[in-house]
């Protein structure tokens, strides 16, 4: 349980040795605690007497011995990250020095911070809402440019502002309904039902769009899963090794070499893709290989993008049968990219005679056709370009609100269900008290996202427990 009267301390930079490290204190006594052990180069200079947002050079003193030369940055409430008096001490980055500085502040009255406690204090002190606080963790953990941009947009309040706007409109709506209930005996109608239907319909569309954005947001945050599937010896493992530029999968002319799923990630143009090499699809009596093939079908269903590797020398019937088999296991939201491999075995004239790319794509109903040679690394750039095209990067480029947090997604789903009931109720002419109840549910679910109705330490502790210490 957090006590805002305590002053906490933690190392805020990454673990290990470095040129510098930052030790952060926050709380009512942070400046005075630092004053106890800090000696400025200007004799007699006290930190408590200094202006906010200033930096001071001096030394930390431990039992009359100089521990390290440091820079001390002062931030005063409420104009700091946590909304409290905050001190950031930049010392040399040796792990031993970091530990001794930490011990020095603890011995002087500070308490070691819990994971995420600085950000949790920022939330409790009204410096940010809960969705912004969670975006801080996402920003720290971002592994790609797209993930960074989405997290930064949320941390700056893009998502929160959207929810605030929705809540304001719903509050105006429910106020009119509640007013009608107060005058129910007079049979007065303050709210124009046609206008309310239009308003609720608009809000429903916004919530629906936010819910739908989670598939993209989750993929950007955790990496877009790409399953590489196809017949045995089509070149799947060679493609994975070529994309990753390392030998992750065994490559052999023997059929059925890959029997289990192999995964690795790579960043392409600011997007993290999780490539999954799977067992080749064929009929076999090998029990272990059949288990791998079953896993292949499972990965097809869970992937956002499926790369179907085909041998250019395969007969048309085998190619179209493979495409049909894979498409039957995919849903409308998944993308299918067909990679026609081993073009190095044919010359340009033979490749042109083998298939007409545009006609082939139209007949097969795929999202893209890429002729390539995984062995000679031909067509890899084209494949990468096609993968990028399958992602709706316009939403990221336009700084649209994209939901990346599973907790937010669940709350938005419940909000959408409630607002749909409101819309159905308005159209069917149900009484105002039932409408008001459904609207209150929408408001309650939206408040769960920003933290407006979250008060228990258990819930907050669960949200912040995965933050790094010092943040």
pLDDT, tens digit (0-9, with 9 covering 90-100), for 11-24? 999 888 899 999 99
- How much is the average pLDDT of 404-431? 88
394, 412, 432 — which closes off a domain?
394
Q: Is the pTM of this model over 0.85?
A: no
pLDDT for residue 67: 96
* CA–CA gap between residue 321 and residue 139 (Å, rounded): 44
In a domain, 471, yes or no: no
Residue 170 belongs to a domain: yes
The 10s digit of each residue's pLDDT in 276-308 is 877 656 554 455 545 655 666 667 777 888 888
| In the chain, % of residues over pLDDT 70 | 82
Same domain, 274 and 357: yes
pLDDT the model gives residue 257 = 46
User: Are 160 and 57 in a shared domain?
Assistant: no
Is the residue at 460 inside a domain?
A: no
Specify whether the CB–CB gap between 89 and 33 falls below 8 A.
no
Note whether 316 and 385 are same-domain residues: yes
Question: How far is Cα 455 from Cα 458, in angstroms, rounded to an integer?
Answer: 9
Q: Output the six-digit token pair for 75.
A: 């931030």
Pairing of strands 335-341, 368-371: parallel
**What pLDDT does residue 255 have?**
44
Is the preceding omega at residue 430 within 30 degrees of 0, hence cis? no
36 & 141 share domain: no
Residue 468 lies in a domain: no
Percent share of the chain, pLDDT over 90: 25
Given this model, what pLDDT does residue 219 score? 81
C-alpha to C-alpha distance for 199 and 121, rounded to whole angstroms: 37
Both 175 and 319 in one domain: the answer is: no
Q: Which residue has the higher pLDDT, 287 or 137?
A: 137
pLDDT of the residue at 269 = 83
Residues 105 and 167 in one domain: no
pLDDT tens per residue across span 40-70: 998 888 999 999 999 999 999 999 999 999 9
* Overall average pLDDT of the 412-429 stretch: 88
Question: How many domains does the chain divide into?
Answer: 3
Strand pairing report for 65-75 and 86-93: antiparallel
The CA distance from 88 to 12, in Å, is 9
Reply yes or no on whether the pLDDT at 273 is more than 50. Answer: yes
Neighbours of 79 (CB within 10 A): 11
Residue 247 in this model has a pLDDT that exceeds 70: no
Residue 259 has pLDDT above 50, yes or no: no
Taking 60 as the threshold, does the pLDDT of residue 198 lie above it? yes
Burial of 331 (0-12, 13-18, 19+ CB in 10 A): exposed
| CB proximity list for 395: less than 8 A, separation 6 or greater | 213, 216, 402
Instruction: Indicate left, alpha or beta for 365 from its phi (over 0: left) and psi (-120 to 50: alpha).
Output: left
- Are 380 and 254 members of one domain? yes
* Range name among 38-52, 215-229, 281-295, 427-441 with the lowest pLDDT average: 281-295
Q: Per-residue pLDDT for 331 more than 50?
A: yes
Same domain as 104, residue 155: no
- Tell me how far apart the terminal alpha carbons of the chain are, to the nearest angstrom: 17
Q: What is the domain extent for residue 45? A: 8-127
- pLDDT mean over 336-359: 74
Measured CA angle at 281 (ends 277, 283), to 5 deg:
150
The predicted structure's pLDDT at residue 287: 53
Q: Do 468 and 115 touch, CB atoms closer than 8 A?
A: yes
Asked if residue 329 and residue 249 are part of one domain, the reply reads: yes
Last residue of a domain, one of 348, 369, 394: 394
Select from 40, 34, 15 the least CA-distant residue to 93.
Answer: 15
pLDDT for the residue 356: 61
Identify the pLDDT of residue 462: 61
Residue 80 lies in a domain: yes
The answer on 382 and 257 residing in a single domain is yes
Helix (H) or strand (E) holding 10: strand 8-11
Among residues 363, 394, 425, the one where a domain terminates is 394
């Amino acid at each position: 349980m957090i006590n805002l009267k305590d002053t906490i301390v933690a190392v805020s930079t990454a673990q290990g040795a470095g040129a510098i490290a930052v030790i952060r204190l926050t709380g009512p006594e942070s400046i005075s605690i630092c004053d106890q052990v800090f000696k400025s180069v200007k004799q007699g200079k006290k930190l408590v007497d200094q202006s906010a947002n200033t930096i001071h050079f001096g030394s930390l003193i431990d039992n009359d011995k100089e521990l390290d030369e440091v820079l001390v940055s002062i931030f005063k409430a409420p104009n700091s990250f946590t909304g409290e008096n905050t001190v950031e001490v930049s010392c040399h980055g040796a792990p031993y020095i970091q530990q001794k500085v930490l011990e020095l502040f603890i011995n002087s009255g500070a308490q070691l911070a819990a994971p995420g406690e600085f950000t949790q204090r920022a939330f409790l002190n009204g410096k940010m809402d809960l969705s912004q606080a969670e975006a801080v963790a996402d920003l720290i953990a971002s592994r790609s440019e797209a993930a960074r941009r989405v997290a930064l947009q949320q941390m700056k309040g893009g998502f929160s502002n959207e929810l605030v706007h929705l809540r304001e409109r719903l509050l105006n709506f429910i106020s009119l309904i509640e007013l009608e209930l107060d005058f129910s005996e007079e049979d007065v109608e303050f709210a124009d039902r046609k206008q309310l239907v239009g308003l609720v319909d608009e809000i429903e569309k916004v919530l629906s769009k936010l819910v739908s954005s989670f598939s993209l947001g989750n993929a950007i945050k955790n990496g877009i899963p790409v399953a590489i599937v196809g017949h045995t010896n089509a070149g799947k493992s060679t493609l994975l090794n070529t994309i990753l530029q390392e030998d992750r999968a065994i490559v052999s002319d023997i059929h059925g070499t890959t029997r289990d799923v192999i995964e690795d990630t790579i960043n392409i143009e600011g997007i993290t893709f999780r490539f999954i090499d799977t067992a080749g699809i064929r009929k076999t009596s090998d029990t272990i290989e059949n288990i791998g093939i079953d896993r292949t079908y499972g990965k097809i269903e869970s992937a956002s993008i499926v790369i179907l590797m085909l041998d250019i020398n395969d007969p048309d019937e085998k190619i179209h049968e493979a495409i049909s088999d894979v498409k039957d296991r995919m849903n409308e939201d998944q993308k299918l990219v067909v990679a026609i491999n081993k073009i190095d075995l044919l010359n340009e004239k033979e490749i042109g005679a083998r298939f007409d790319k545009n006609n082939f794509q139209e007949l097969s109903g795929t999202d893209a056709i890429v002729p390539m040679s995984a062995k000679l690394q031909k067509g890899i750039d084209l494949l990468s370009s096609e993968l990028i095209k399958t992602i709706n990067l316009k939403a990221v480029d336009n700084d649209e609100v994209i939901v990346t947090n599973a907790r937010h997604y669940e709350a938005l789903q419940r909000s959408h269900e409630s607002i749909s009931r409101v819309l159905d109720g308005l159209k069917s002419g149900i009484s105002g008290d039932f409408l008001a109840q459904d609207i209150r549910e929408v408001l309650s679910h939206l408040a769960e996202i920003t933290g407006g109705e979250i008060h228990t330490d258990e819930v907050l502790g669960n949200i912040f427990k995965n933050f790094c210490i010092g943040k």
